[in-house]
Homo-oligomer: A and B are copies of this chain.
Amino acid sequence: MTPRGPELGAGAEFDLVRALVARWGDLARGIGDDAALVAPPRGETMVASTDVAVEGVHFRLDWMSPADAGYRAVMAALSDIAAMAAAPRGMLLSFVAPPDRRQLLLDLADGIGQAARDAGCPIVGGNVARGSELSLTTTVLGSAFAPLARAGAAPGQHVYVTGTLGGPAAAIRALNDGRTPVALHLDRLTRPRARIREARWLAARGATACIDISDGLVGDAGHLAAANALGVEIVADDIPALDGASLDDALAGGEEYELLVTARAPMDEAAFRDAFGIPLTCVGRMSGIAGAGVVVTQGGRRIEAPRGYDHFSA
C-alpha cells in the first residue's frame, strides 16, 4: 500500500525492514523486490563500491551515538565513489545484528538516512540478518561519464588535498586517553562528508587521478604511488592540519574522507574554496621514480613518515 514499491510479506525480518523503510520515508525507493533498479544516465558508466563497519572495529558506541555510527558508515562508503568523481545513484544496506538489538538498528538507520539525504543518494535495497556481532555493509552505486581512477597521474604533476586533516585522529587520541575531544575534531570523526561534488568539480578541471583518504594521507599517497608506478613527494609544511591536530594526526590519521588528487595544471584554489567552503591545498608532487613510494619532507629535509591504519593487522 505504500507508493515506494511492492508490499513485503510477513515475518520478523520483514517487520524490521518495514520499520527501517518507514524511518527513511521518501529516501527509500523500490524496497521489497528481489533486487533494486538503478538506471544510469545514457552513456555513463556505473561505479560500485562496498564497505563494512563492524562494531568494536570500525566504530565504538561508547565513543559515538548509533546515529553517528550509521552516518559515518554510509559516508565512508560514499567516499569511495566520490573518489571516482561519480554521482551517487543508490545504496544497498546489509545489517547483521543480534535479535535483541533491534532498537539499535533503528537508531543507526536515523544516521544512515541523514547521510543519504546529505549526499542525495536514495536507499534502494538491503538485507537484515541475525548474527552475534553488529555490522553494516554499505554498497553504493554511482555513475560517471568519465570515472576518475587512482591511476592516471604523470611525473611532475601537483598533488592536492581537500579540506583540513587530522581531526578524526586527534579525536581518537583524546577518546583513547579518556579526554573529551575538541568538538570540531569529534565532528570530523562522527560526521565526515564524502566529497562528491568536490570530486566532480576537480575532475572537470583537469584532475588526473584521485583517491579518498581512508588509510591516512601517507598510506593513501602510497596507494596512489603504487597505482601509478610513480613516487609521491609530500611537503609536510604545506599540509592543512585542523586546529589542534598534530602533524602525525594529519599525516597518518585515517578515515578523513578528504580527497587526494593529482592535477595536470595548477588548480584554482580560491574558486574551490568559494564553491565548497573548504580549502584545496597543494601538498606535493608526483615523482618519476617508480617504486620510490612516499617521501615526506619538512623544512626541506626528509622525515620518517608514520604509516596509516591497517584494519587487518592484529
B-contacting residues of A (Cβ < 8 Å)?
6-13, 16, 32-40, 42, 45-52, 54, 56-58, 79-81, 83-84, 86, 90, 92-94, 96, 99, 124-133, 135, 137, 139-142, 147, 149-151, 210-212, 215, 219-220, 222-223, 225-229, 307, 310-314
Contact = CB atoms under 8 A, between A and B. Distances in A.
B132 A133 contact: yes
Copies of this chain held together in the complex: 2
B7 A135 contact: no
25 contacts: A8-B223, A9-B222, A10-B222, A11-B312, A11-B313, A13-B313, A34-B49, A34-B83, A34-B211, A35-B140, A38-B47, A42-B42, A46-B46, A48-B48, A50-B94, A50-B125, A51-B94, A52-B96, A52-B127, A58-B129, A94-B137, A96-B135, A99-B312, A129-B312, A130-B312
B57 A46 contact: no
Given A34-B84, A311-B130, A39 B45 contact: yes
A12 B50 contact: no
Contacts of A11: 215, 219, 307, 310, 312-313
Given A9-B222, A9-B226, A34-B49, 5 more contacts: A9-B215, A12-B312, A36-B47, A57-B131, A94-B94
B151 A6 contact: yes
Given A16-B312, A312-B13, A313-B12, A35 B49 contact: yes
B34 A39 contact: no
A129 B52 contact: yes
B131 A48 contact: no
B83 A139 contact: no
A7 B51 CA distance: 19
B94 A226 contact: no
B222 A48 contact: no
Find the residue from A13, A56, A212 having the highest chain B CB count within 10 A: A13
Contact of A227 (B6, B50, B93, B137): B6
B57 A130 contact: yes
A48 B35 contact: yes
A32 B150 contact: yes
B33 A311 contact: no
A96 B150 contact: no
B312 A34 contact: no
A7 to B, nearest CB: 4
A13 B312 CA distance: 5
Contacts of A13: 310-313
A34 B150 contact: yes
A57 B129 contact: yes
Nearest to A49: B35
Contacts of A142: 35
Contacts of A149: 6, 33
